[in-house]
Amino acid sequence: MGALDTTIAGSAGRFIAAGISDAMAVVVVLSLALILAPLLVRRPALTGASELRAPALVYFGAIGLGFLLVEIPLIQMAILSLGQPSLAFAVVAALILSGAGLGSSVANRIQPGGTVSGLVAVLAAGVAITLPALLTGTLGWPLAGRVLVLAVGVLPLAIVMGLPFPIGLGWLSRRSPGLVPWVWAVNGCASVIGGITAAILALTLGLRTTVLVGAACYALALLAALWAVRSPAPRPVTVPGPEA
């Protein structure tokens, strides 16, 4: 797996990535325009939550990037292990979506504070370091055994990956509900950017490094969460009514 990872990140990969970078530039410009437009309009709800805008932008942007930077390389690793792209996509997508859904279902029982994002970062880094070797060691196994090893490696990570978004959204809805639609947009735009970024990084740096960058995004989300919970509560905003 290590040799294959190096091959993917070779000169041919860099050549392909150069072509993808044009699409990346367009996506980044459009995403930034969509993210910044509500702030330029200066709606009262957003204006009253100025203390939380920056940490919310970093938090929801980081977990949007991180999710795709972890998921896409895992699919590629599974292709190298299972040998069938459609099967690998189906298995990893099912594991991540079901695991993330399970994590989201219990998110309301967990106190906010960023600890979960840190846990995702640690697990993602662990998977990046250990999973390629595990998959390489099982290449001679029956298909069912390879799928089982993949599930054991991916599912625990997927469960905790489903926690940061609903936990952060629930906390923000109590502190500054006017920012909730905006951070949904931030997370969605970051996910689009993350998909293209994952392809470029995988082609230039390799699959393991791409997952480690995703882990770093979740570590950044941890810092943003700590920043947010230490921010002063937003001042209530009074919207002037019509004059008599």
Query: Which tens digits make up the pLDDT trace of 159-217?
Result: 999 999 999 999 999 888 888 988 998 999 899 899 989 988 998 899 999 999 999 99
Q: What's the pTM?
A: 0.84
**Local confidence band at 94 (pLDDT 50, 70, 90 cut-offs):** very high
What integer pLDDT is reported at residue 4 of this predicted model? 46
Residue-wise pLDDT tens digits, 97-144: 999 999 999 998 887 777 899 999 999 999 999 999 999 999 999 999
> How high is the mean pLDDT of the chain?
84
Average pLDDT over residues 38-42: 62
**Local confidence band at 239 (pLDDT 50, 70, 90 cut-offs):** very low
- Whether the Cβ atoms of residue 127 and residue 211 lie closer than 8 Å to each other: yes
Structure tokens at 126: 């662990």
How many domains does the chain contain in total?
Answer: 1
Domain CATH for 121: 1.20.1250
| CA 184 remoteness from chain centre | 13
- Judge whether 196 lies within some domain: yes
Q: In 42-142, where does DSSP find H-type helix?
A: 44-47, 50-82, 85-105, 115-137
Which residue range forms the structural domain that includes residue 213? 2-42+59-229
**CB under 8 Å to 96, separation ≥6 — which residues?**
71, 74, 154, 158, 161
What integer pLDDT is reported at residue 84 of this predicted model? 92
Give dist(CA 164, CA 141) in Å, integer: 35
**CB under 8 Å to 148, separation ≥6 — which residues?**
none
- Judge whether 174 lies within some domain: yes
- Judge whether 50 lies within some domain: no
- Judge whether 242 lies within some domain: no
- Judge whether 106 lies within some domain: yes
- Total length of the chain: 244
- Judge whether 239 lies within some domain: no
